[in-house]
Structure 1
Amino acid sequence: MRVEQLAGDAQLSVDTIRYYQKIGILHPPTRDGRVALYDNSHSDRLQEIKQLSDEGFSLAQIQQLADSSPHPLLTSLNGSSDSLSFDELVAASGTNEEIVRLAVDAGLIRPLTNNDERFGVSTLSMLRAGVELLDAGVPFDELIHLAVRHADHVESVAEDAVALFAKHLGETSAASQTKIVESILPLVTELVAQHFRQTLIEQVGQHLREDGQSA
């Protein structure tokens, strides 16, 4: 695609795209004679730049995070540099293909990039947990509805958390950021999981008490 189409798809000006190239946060296009041609990798990079900018990263920080090779911080957060295609995900999880597709379409399971349907290995545990709930008798449509509601709230909190980390860790080097996040990510995950578990237990107790009073 030409730069005008890339700019239109990304909702940016052509000048902005050229500026990104000038400062080195967007890789150069290929050329067909005198015509500069862009592809999906440029669209992915622009989306990443926008996301990081929205989360409070400066252009200098984005220049580190938007390196052409996978950033160690992002690899650390994903838990592995390995990925699975959609078919591999279905086969490895032992889950019905239709269920996996519905989970992807609902946004509960997300590919690593928008233009390449490959998924992190950690997605497998999410799918298997969902299958166990279905096997326990939870209706699929109600489980999906609950999961979507949960995902909406979690995403909002996660955005605030990333903004907080970016504010306080943004001036450190990429290696330092990775080391810090690797140490605090399990703590934050445990905190959120335990809080949800405690709240769930309290709600179960309240439900049982109300059932006992109405019996």
Structure 2
Amino acid sequence: METATLRVEDLARAADVSVDTVRFYQKRRLLPPPVRRGRIAWYGDEHADRLARIRDLQQRGFSLAVIRRLLDGELDAADAAVAAAVATAAAGTDDPGDEGVPLTLDDVAAGAGVPAPLLGAVVQAGILVPRTVDGEERFAPSDVDLVRGGLALLEAGFPLSELLSLAGRHDAATHAIAEDAVRLFDEHVRAPLRAEDLGDDERAERLVAAFRTLLPTVTTLVAAHFRRVLLEVAQAHLEQVGEPTELAAARAEPGWGAA
């Protein structure tokens, strides 16, 4: 590598990342190995360009695993396009050009008006999931609204420990269902499209269009079903244990008995 003239400190400074981040990316095989002259490792334009590309992809919501496959050319045009659509949706926006600025934990805490240590417990429980940007944990802007919703439950009287336990069980069950849903998409949407005699661009466009149509549809169906089941259980419980005044007030609500 003729342009390998930078030490790791110089490369990190030029890319505006830490030396630890550079080494972290090397460990994850996101960066090619440096040129070694004696005991010194030298980096060049290839590494600087790769760091810039990694930062761009991270800010668009790609995971490091997907970034590595993209950089190594392991994803074809169709899968790269749907990966971009998934990353955009995961970043909390439907606009590929407006991914939002990744937030630190303190940013989310300030935006939601909650103590950062409380959010730390939520992250540790796996309910609030960060993504890695420049080797550091960052959150989507939409996570602020998620935290505000959780805060409303706490203010209503839910104990934090029980709320976290409930959220953890819901998360585990949701992951299992989501894995089945992704498998169905792969088998019945992605695989047939890949088998058709289509150009790369058309296949990519149709795959992304299918994803963007199905994601909100499935999300709406799941939310509506959960709401109906929750209301059915709440109504049955109130019918059993509710006081007469509670039952009268509940029955006066629009939609009572129509869950």
TM-score by length of 1: 0.69
Query: Is 1:87–2:76 an aligned residue pair?
Result: no
Pick from 114, 128, 143: which aligns with 2:148?
128
What does residue 169 of structure 1 align with?
Answer: 190
- Structure 1 pair 157–62 and aligned structure 2 pair: CA distance change class (3 A): farther
Distance apart, 1:63 and its partner CA: 8.7
Instruction: Give the deviation of 1:49 after TM superposition.
Output: 8.2
CA deviations over 1:169-192 (Å, ceiling 9, x no partner): 252733333322222211111100
State the one-letter code of the partner of 2:32: P
CA–CA separation in structure 1 for the residues paired with 2:217 and 2:116? 34
Structure 2 CA distance, aligned partners of 1:196 and 1:176?
30
Which protein shows a greater Rg? Answer: 2
Q: Is the 8 A contact 1:79 1:122 kept in 2?
A: yes
Change (3 A) 1:149 1:78: same
Distance 1:197 1:136, change over 3 A: same
Distance 1:50 1:196, change over 3 A: farther
Unaligned runs of 5+ in 2: 1-22, 55-62, 94-98, 195-201, 244-259
2: CA distance between counterparts of 1:64 and 1:186? 20
Please report the RMSD computed on the Cα atoms of aligned residues, expressed in angstroms. 3.7
**3-state SS of 2:34 partner:** strand
Unpaired segments of 5 or more residues in structure 1? 11-25, 52-58
Q: For structure 1, which segment, 150-159 or 74-83, has the greater mean C-alpha deviation from structure 2 after superposition?
A: 74-83
What secondary structure does 1:124 align onto?
helix
Question: In structure 2, what residue type is equivalent to 1:122?
Answer: S
- In the other structure, the counterpart of 2:132 is 113
Distance in 2 (alpha carbons) for counterparts of 1:156 and 1:36: 45
1:197 counterpart residue number: 227
User: Which string of whole-angstrom CA distances, capped at 9 and with x for unpartnered residues, describes residues 114-143 of structure 1?
Assistant: 843111122122101100000111111111
Count of residue pairs brought into register by the alignment: 182
Equivalent position SS for 1:33? strand
Q: Does the CA-based 8 Å contact 2:78-2:204 persist in structure 1?
A: no
Of 168-177 and 185-194, the range deviating more from structure 2: 168-177
The answer for the alignment partner of 1:31 in structure 2 is: 34
Change (3 A) 1:105 1:66: farther
Cα distance in 1 for partners of 2:240, 2:42 equals 68
The 3-state SS of whatever aligns with 2:130 is coil
Deviation at 1:88, TM superposition (A): 1.2
Whether the 8 Å contact between 2:103 and 2:141 is mirrored in structure 1 is yes
Do the aligned residues in 2 keep the contact of 1:104 with 1:110 (CA within 8 Å)? yes
Give 3-state SS (helix, strand or coil) of 2:114's partner.
coil
| CA distance in 2: counterparts of 1:177 and 1:77, whole angstroms | 17
Q: Percent identity?
A: 31
Aligned structure 1 segments of 4 or more residues deviating by more than 4 angstroms: 34-41, 59-64
Quick one: structure 1 residues 147 and 65, their matched pair in 2 at CA, closer, same or farther if it must change by over 3 Å?
Answer: same
User: Are the aligned partners of 2:122 and 2:128 in contact in 1 as well (CA < 8 Å)?
Assistant: yes
Q: AA paired with 2:34?
A: R
Larger relative contact order (Cα-Cα within 8 Å, sequence gap ≥ 6): 1
